[in-house]
Amino acid sequence: MPRFSHVETILGSTTYEKISNCRVLMVGAGGIGCELLKNLVMSGFKQIELVDLDIIDLSNLNRQFLFQKQHIKKSKAQVARESALKFNPNVNIIAHRANIKDLQFNVEWFKSFDIVMNALDNLDARRHVNMMCLAADVPLVESGSEGYLGQVTVIKKGKSECYECQPKPTQKTYPVCTIRSTPSIPIHCIVWAKNYLFGQLFGIPEDDEGLGQEVTEENAEEIANLKRETLELKNIREAMGSQDYTKIVFQKVFKEDIDRLLMMEDMWKTRKPPVPLIYDDIEKLRDETESQSSTAEDNHTLKDQRSWNLAENFTVFLDSVRRLSTRLLNEKKTNPNASLIFDKDDADALDFVTATSNLRARVFGIEEKTKFQVKAMAGNIIPAIATTNAIVAGLIVMQAFKVLNEKINECKTVYCAPERRPSPILSESLMKPNPDCPICQNTHVTLKVNTKKVTLREFIEKVVQSQDEGGMDICEASVEEGGRIIYDVDYVDNLDATFEQLKITDGKMMKVTPDDDGMKCPAIFAISHKETFERPGTWFYVDGNPRKLIKHKHVEENFTSNSSQPSKRKRDDLEIDSQETSQPPKRLAINEKVVVKDDDIIMTDEGAQELIVLD
C-alpha cells in the first residue's frame, strides 16, 4: 500500500486531494514549528513555505528535533527544511530565513496560501500574522505552548474571534521609584541591574528627562536625587578603563547613592532602611575567604544553581564590570557610538546582572537569587518542552483538516493541560468575532497603486471623499500608517507628496478613520505597488468596496450592541519567551516605555511596542 494510504482511507480521497494540493504557510520553525513541519510532510501536505529568522542554539536541541549539534548557529528554516525532506522527499518546501514582518511578505503573498499556521513564540509576530491573514482573508491556525500547557485555535475573518478580539494581558510594569529607590522583592533588583545600571554603564546612557513627572512636595527631593544619581553615573562612565573604575562604580551605586537615599528619612519611616556596602570591608572579607580553600563544593548542585556569598557577588561584580568595559572600549575603537545590550545568553552580561542584583538585594535586605534563577527572570524564559509542542503541533493539523474541508463551523479552540481532569485535552467551539475588535472589524481592501505617481491629495479626493464606486464618501477622515499620522483635517502638509515620498510603499498598511462619530470603524488599505494600469492616466485601483463594508459594519454594530453575549472566554495566557523569538530580540535598554498615568510613573519591562496604560 502506498505511503499515504492510511490518510486517504480515513479522511477520504476528496480531503486527501485538498491536502496534497493546498499551499501552506508555516510561520516559525522553533519548538512547535519543528513538530509541525514533521506532521505536515507526514500527512500528505506537498506545498509548504516556511519563514523563520532565528538561528539554532544549544538550548533548542532538547525539543527542536530537526536540529542537532552540528547545526548550531545555522538557519532554523533551512535546517528544518533539509531534515523534513529526509522524512518525505516528495514535498516542495520553500524555506525563508527572514522576518515575517519583512515587506516582501505582503498581503498579495499571504493571499497565495490556502492556509496559514502559526508556530510563533511572541506577541508581536502573532499580531502581525493575524492582521495579514485578516487582510488577505486566509484562514489562520494559531498556536502556543508554555511548559505543560498548550493551545490551538482557528481564526477566520468574519467567522471566528481574531487574535486581538480579546485584550491581551499587559506587560508587567514597575513604578520607577520602586525600582530606583525602594525595591522590596528580587525582581525589583534584577530590573534595576538589567534595565537601569547595565544601560547606564554599557548601553546608551539615558537622561532622566522621562522622569519629568509632576514634581510634588512629597517627591521633589526624591526626583532631584534620582536625576543627580544618573548624572553622576554619566560622569563616572568617562573614567571607564581606568585602574580603579570598578571600585568607583561600586562605591557610587552601593554606598554613595544608598547614603543619599537614607537621608530621605520619611522614606524609611515605614520601610526597612537600606544598608550601604563598604568596599574595603568586603575586599578584606574576600581575601580572608580566598585564603581558605573553598573546594567544599556541593556536587549535587549545578554551578549556576549555587548561591553566591557576599564576597563572591563582589568578585563577580568587579570582574564582570571589567570584562564588559573592556569589550565596550574595544568596540568603540572601530565605532565611537558603540554600546552593549543585555542578552541573557551573554555570559558577561548575565554575571553582571546576577552579581549587581544580589548586591542590591543585600543592601535592601531582599532575598538573593542564583544565576540560574536570574537568567529566567531577566531573560523572561518560559520553559518549553518537546511533548507539549508535539501535542500542539498535532492539534494544529487536526484543525487544518477541518479548515481545508471548509468546515470552519466545526473548528475548535483546543486546550492541552495534562493535569486537568477529566479532560487533559479539551475542545471548545470558536467564539464569534468581537464586534468591537479594533483589528478584525476593520474593513480590509487592497489599494493597487503606483506609489511613485499617486499623491496623498489624489487618494483623499478620489477615494476617501469620492462618491463614485470604490470611493468612501467621507468628508473628513484621518490617515495613518505604522502609527504615524499622515493626514487629518488639521494636518494637510503631506497632501502633495507621493505615496513613495511618504514611505507608504508596497506591503504597508494604511488606516483611514472617518472623523464622524457615528462611524468610528476604520478602513485598512493594504498597499500593493503596481507600475502600470490598463486605463491610460490611471495610477491606482481600489480592489474592494471600502464604503459598503464600513456602512454595513455600522448597522451591524447597532444591532449587536443590544444583544452583546457574555464573554465566557478563558484563553490561557500563552505569551512565549520573548527572548527566544524569531524576531530580533535585542532591545535597547533605554527603550523602556515611560508612561505617565495619574501621579505615578511606570517603567515597563520587556515592553510591548505601544504605549501601555495601566488601571
Residue 414 found at the interface with other proteins (CB under 8 A): yes
- Give counts: helices (H), strands (E), the chain: 19, 17
- CB of 601: closest distance to other proteins in angstroms? 18
Give 387 or 505: the residue with its C-beta nearer to other proteins: 387
335 annotated among ligand-binding-site residues: no
Q: Residue 575: which of 382, 377, 375 has the closest Cα? A: 382
What are the backbone angles phi and psi of residue 41, rounded to the nearest 5°?
A: -70, -20
Smallest distance from the beta carbon of 390 to other proteins, in angstroms?
4
Which residue type sits at 590? I
Q: How far is the CB of 303 from other proteins (least distance, A)?
A: 6
Size of the site for other proteins (CB under 8 A): 68
* Site stretch for other proteins (CB under 8 A), options 159-167, 413-421, 501-509, 601-609: 413-421
Per the annotation, does 60 bind a ligand?
A: yes
Site string for other proteins, 198-237 (x = CB under 8 A): ----------------------------------------
Q: Does the annotation place 269 within a ligand binding site?
A: no
189 known ligand binder: no
Which range binds other proteins by CB under 8 A, 276-284, 332-340, 347-355, 386-394? 386-394
Q: What angle separates helix 13-21 from helix 386-404, to the nearest 10 degrees?
A: 110
Find the length of the chain.
Answer: 615
62 assigned to a ligand binding site: yes
324 labeled part of a ligand binding site: no
Among 2, 167, 169, 483, binds other proteins (CB under 8 A): 2
Strand partners for 429: 412
CA-based torsion, 538, 539, 543, 548: positive or negative: negative
Residue 372 or 533: the one with the smaller Cβ distance to other proteins is: 372
- Give the CA distances from residue 599 to residues 176, 206, 229, 411, in Å, rounded to whole numbers and listed in that order: 12, 22, 22, 47
Task: Find out whether the peptide bond into 422 is cis, omega within 30 degrees of 0.
Answer: yes
* Residue type, position 329, single letter: L
Annotated ligand binding at 416? The verdict is no
Least separation in angstroms between CB 330 and other proteins: 27
Distance in Å, CB of 62 to other proteins, minimum: 5
Contact string (CB under 8 A) for other proteins, positions 29-48, x = contact: ------x--xx--xx-----
* Closest listed residue to residue 362, CA positions, set 289, 254, 285: 254
| Separation between Cα atoms, residue 253 and residue 183, nearest integer Å | 14
Map the footprint of other proteins across residues 233-272, applying CB under 8 A.
none
Q: Are 154 and 411 in contact (CB under 8 A)?
A: yes
Query: Which one, of 316, 318, 319, 320, lies nearest residue 308 by Cα?
Result: 316
Half-sphere exposure (Cβ direction) of 168: Cα atoms closer than 13 Å? 19
Q: Look up residue 424 and give its amino acid.
A: P
Angle at 410 between CA 408 and CA 412, to 5 degrees: 90
Q: Is residue 385 a contact residue for other proteins (CB under 8 A)? A: yes
For residue 110, give the H/E element and its range: helix 107-111
Stretch that binds other proteins, among 100-108, 157-165, 307-315, 395-403 (CB under 8 A): 395-403
Is residue 162 a known part of a binding site? yes
Tell me, residue by residue from 270 to 309, as one string, x for binding to other proteins by CB under 8 A and - for no binding. -----------------------------xxxxxxx----
Round to whole Å and give the CA distance between 52 and 69. 19
DSSP state of 93: E
Judged by CB under 8 A, the stretch of 8-16, 103-111, 237-245, 270-278 that binds other proteins is 8-16
- The binder of other proteins chosen from 405, 427, 465, 505 (CB under 8 A): 427
- The whole-angstrom separation of Cα 26 and Cα 9 is 26
Q: By the 8 A CB rule, do 151 and 415 touch?
A: yes
Question: At its nearest, how many Å lie between other proteins and the CB of residue 218?
Answer: 23
Provide, rounded to whole angstroms, the least separation between the CB of residue 318 and other proteins.
Answer: 24
> Could you list the active site residues?
177
Among 175, 276, 418, 471, binds other proteins (CB under 8 A): 418
How far is the C-alpha of 267 from the C-alpha of 226, rounded, in Å?
A: 14
**570 binds other proteins per the rule CB under 8 A:** no
Of residues 167 through 196, those in contact with other proteins by CB under 8 A are: 185, 187
Question: Residue 534 corresponds to which cell in the numbers above?
Answer: 490598463
Residue 424 interacting with other proteins (CB under 8 A): yes
20 counts as binding other proteins under rule CB under 8 A: no
Stretch that binds other proteins, among 311-319, 396-404, 501-509, 589-597 (CB under 8 A): 396-404
| Selected binder of other proteins within 109, 148, 279, 541 (CB under 8 A) | 148
| Distance of closest approach, residue 585 Cβ to other proteins, in angstroms | 16
The residue among 139, 135, 153 whose CA lies nearest residue 440 is: 135
C-alpha span between 391 and 142 (Å, rounded): 14
Does the protein bind other proteins through residue 614 (CB under 8 A)?
no
Task: Identify the three-state secondary structure at position 399.
Answer: helix
30 labelled ligand-binding: yes
Rounded CA Rg of the chain: 28
165 labeled part of a ligand binding site: yes
**Residue 223 marked in a binding site:** no
111 touching other proteins, by CB under 8 A: no
Burial (Cβ within 10 Å: 0-12, 13-18, ≥19) of residue 584: exposed
69 is written with which cell numbers? 549539534
From 596, 588, 472, 571, select the one nearest 168 (Cα to Cα).
Answer: 571
28 is in an annotated binding site: yes
What letter does residue 446 receive in the DSSP assignment? E
* Binding segment (CB under 8 A) for other proteins, from list 115-123, 382-390, 448-456, 587-595: 382-390
Which residue in the block uniquely carries the three cell numbers 553582571?
A: 352
Q: Which is nearer to other proteins, 107 or 390 (CB)?
A: 390
Annotated binding site for ATP: 28-33, 52, 60-63, 76, 121-126
Return binding residues: 28-33, 52, 60-63, 76, 121-126, 162, 165, 437, 440
Kindly list the residues in this chain that would bind other proteins in the complex (CB under 8 A): 1-7, 9-11, 35, 38-39, 42-43, 58-59, 61-63, 65, 68-69, 86-89, 147-148, 185, 187, 299-305, 372, 376, 381, 383-391, 393-398, 401, 412, 414, 418-419, 421-427
For the annotated binding site for Zn(2+), the residues are 162, 165, 437, 440
